[in-house]
Amino acid sequence: MGAYNTIAFDAEKCDGCGDCMTACATAKTGTTEISRSRIQIAGNAAEGFELALCRQCGDPKCVTVCPAGALGKDYASGVIDWDGGKCVDCLLCTVGCAYAGIALDAGTGHVAKCDMCDGAPACVPACPHGALKLVTTSRIYNEVGNWEDLFAPGLAGCQGCNTELLMRHTLRRVGPETVLATPPGCVPGMGSVGFNGTTGTKVPVFHPLLTNTAAMLAGIKRQYKRVGREVNALAIAGDGGASDVGFQSLSGAAERNEQILFMVVDNEGYMNTGMQRSSCTPYGAWTSTTPVGQGSGGMPSQGKTQDAKNLPLIMVNHRCEYVATASTAYMEDLYDKLDKAIQASKRGFAYLHVYSPCTTGWRFPTDQNMEVARKAVETNFVMLWEYNPRDGLQFTRPVDQPLPVTEYLKAMGRFRHLSPDQISHIQGKVVENLAFVKQMAQRQSA
C-alpha cells in the first residue's frame, strides 16, 4: 500500500469563479450544470470560499454505512469507488459523510462523488487561480518506501529533529554500493557509527576527524577506483565540521574535483556538543558561546555579532560539478537535487547543503521542525538554488512575495531577545543576500 495523490485547495486563492465545477460537470455529466459537479465551492466573497469534495478518506464512513457493498476503497489508487450496479440509491452514504463528499446528483437520481478522473482531475487545470493543486508528494514515499533503509533502526536523535529523516532518505537514494563518512557531529551522535562494535548502517561507515573528512573520503574513493570497483563516496557532515575546521580538506577535495558527494547538514552550530556557535550561525542567534545577558564593560551580550558564512556560495566558487541548497520542508526539491548530485559525483565533486532546524538548539517546539524550515524559505532567509558549471546558478524555488523575516525569527527562541536594530540588520542581510545570489544567477546564466 502506498500513499496517494490528493486534490489540495488553497482557499485564499479561490475567487468563487466556479470554473472547476463547470469542468467537473462537463467531464462527468456532459453538461455545464454546476449543481451536478462533484467538486462544490461553497461560501461567498465576503467570508471566503470553501470546498465540499470527497476526501477519499483512509477510514471512510460512507463505506461503513453502505448496506449494499457499493462503495469501497481501492487501496491501489486510494480512490473510494462507487459501483452503480450495486448501489440501491438509499442515500445512507450521504448521511455518513461529514464532509459533503458524496451527494445526490439530481440529474441521474444516484449519488455521485469525486473519482479523481483516473489520476488527472479535470478540475485542477481548470482553476485559473491555482487554488486547486494535485499534490503528488506521495510519489517519493511510493517510490522509495519499499527501498531498503540502510540505517539501523533506532537512531537516537533529539525529539523532532529532521536529520534522521534526511539521513535515511539520503542513504536509501544513494544506495547500498556506498562508503559513508560521518565526522563528529549530530550524525554519528545519533548512531551512524554504531554501538558496541556494530555499525549503525548497513554499508561501510567510518568516523574521520573533523579536519580530514573530505581528504579521507577522497582517498577511499580513489583506492576503490584503483581496484576497479564502482562505489559512491558519501559524506554526511555538520556545518561546523565543514565550514570551520574541516574547510581546508573540503576546499582541497573540491579543488581537485574528487568524485565524492559531500552533504552538509546545516543546523547552524555545534549542536551535539552543547550548541556552540559555528561560522554558519546567523547574526543575532543565541548559542552557548554567544550568550544573551549582561555582558561586560557596559556592552550587553545579544547573541552572535557576526553574520553567517555562506558556505554553499563559497563552494560555487570552486566550480564544483554540482552545488545545491535544499530543505526538508521541500522534499521533492531535495530529491531532485540528490539525484543530480549522485550523477555529478560520478564525474567530480558534488556538494549538497541541507538546512536542518535544530529543535533543541534553536529552541522551538518539537512538532515545528518542518514549519521552521518552511518559514526560512518563505522569508528568503534560506534560498533554494542549484549550480553546475554549464548552466550556472538557478533558483529552484524562487519566493516571489517573501514574508517579513520576523515570521521566521519569531518561530524560535534563539532570536527572542533581538532588538529592533538587530532585526532590521537581519532583514537587511536577507535582502542583500538575495540580491547577491540573484546577481550570480543572472551573471552565470548570461
Partner 1 sequence: MEQTKYLVVGSSHAALEAVTAIRMHDTEGSLMLLTRDPHLPYSPTVLPYVVSGRSAPDAIFLRDEKFFARQKVQLKRGTALKALHVERNAAELADGSEIAYEKVLLATGASPAIPPIPGIDTVSYHVLRTLDDATKLNAAIKQSKQAVVLGAGLVGMHAAENLVKAGARVTIVEMAKQLTDGYFDTTAAGLIEKAFTDNGATILTGSRVVKLEPSAVGAKLTLENGTALEADLLLVATGVRPNMDFLAGSRVEQDKGILVGDSMQTSVANVWSAGDCAQARGFFTDAKVMNAILPDAAEQGRIAGMAMAGDPGLKAYPGGVPLNTYHFFGRHAISVGSSRVPEGGEVVTRFDEASGRYLKAIFKDGCLLGIYGVNEFFDGGVMCQLILRRVDLSAVKERFLANPLATGRELMSKLWR
CB of 59 to partner 1, least distance (A): 9
CB of 91 to partner 1, least distance (A): 4
CB atoms closer than 10 angstroms to residue 55: 15
- The residue among 78 and 357 lying less far from partner 1, judged by its C-beta, is 78
- The residue among 27 and 68 lying less far from partner 1, judged by its C-beta, is 68
- The residue among 45 and 299 lying less far from partner 1, judged by its C-beta, is 45
**DSSP assignment of 61-93:** HHHHT-TTS-EEE-TTT--EEE-TTT-----HH
What is the distance between the terminal CA atoms of the chain, rounded to a whole angstrom? 47
CB of 329 to partner 1, least distance (A): 22
State the Cα–Cα distance between residues 425 and 361, nearest whole angstrom. Answer: 22
CB of 50 to partner 1, least distance (A): 3
CB of 52 to partner 1, least distance (A): 5
348 secondary structure, DSSP code:
S
Q: Are strands 385-388 and 350-355 parallel, antiparallel or unpaired?
A: unpaired
Cα dihedral 37→38→41→43 (10° resolution): 100
Say which residues have a Cβ less than 8 Å from residue 82's Cβ, sequence separation at least 6.
70, 71, 102, 111, 112, 113, 115
CB of 23 to partner 1, least distance (A): 19
CB of 108 to partner 1, least distance (A): 12
**DSSP assignment of 239-279:** HHHHHSTTHHHHHHHHHTT-S-EEEEEE-SSBTTTT-B--T
State the Cα–Cα distance between residues 311 and 240, nearest whole angstrom. Answer: 11
CB atoms closer than 10 angstroms to residue 65: 15
At how many degrees (to 10) do helices 163-174 and 331-345 cross? 40
Is residue 341 within 8 A of residue 323, CB to CB? The reply is no
CB of 92 to partner 1, least distance (A): 6
CB of 39 to partner 1, least distance (A): 12
- The residue among 102 and 261 lying less far from partner 1, judged by its C-beta, is 102
CB of 100 to partner 1, least distance (A): 4
Contacts with partner 1 by CB under 8 A lie at 40, 42-44, 47, 50-52, 61, 64-65, 67-69, 85-86, 88-92, 94-100, 103-104, 106, 109
- The residue among 44 and 296 lying less far from partner 1, judged by its C-beta, is 44
- The residue among 73 and 168 lying less far from partner 1, judged by its C-beta, is 73
CB of 5 to partner 1, least distance (A): 19
State the Cα–Cα distance between residues 233 and 120, nearest whole angstrom. Answer: 40
- The residue among 98 and 120 lying less far from partner 1, judged by its C-beta, is 98
- The residue among 68 and 165 lying less far from partner 1, judged by its C-beta, is 68
- The residue among 24 and 235 lying less far from partner 1, judged by its C-beta, is 24
- The residue among 16 and 252 lying less far from partner 1, judged by its C-beta, is 16
For residue 246, what is its C-alpha cell? 574541516
Q: Are strands 102-105 and 110-113 parallel, antiparallel or unpaired?
A: antiparallel
For residue 119, what is its C-alpha cell? 489520476
Say which residues have a Cβ less than 8 Å from residue 343's Cβ, sequence separation at least 6.
322
- The residue among 104 and 292 lying less far from partner 1, judged by its C-beta, is 104
State the Cα–Cα distance between residues 278 and 304, nearest whole angstrom. Answer: 10
State the Cα–Cα distance between residues 265 and 391, nearest whole angstrom. Answer: 25
Look-up: residue for cell 544513494?
Answer: 174
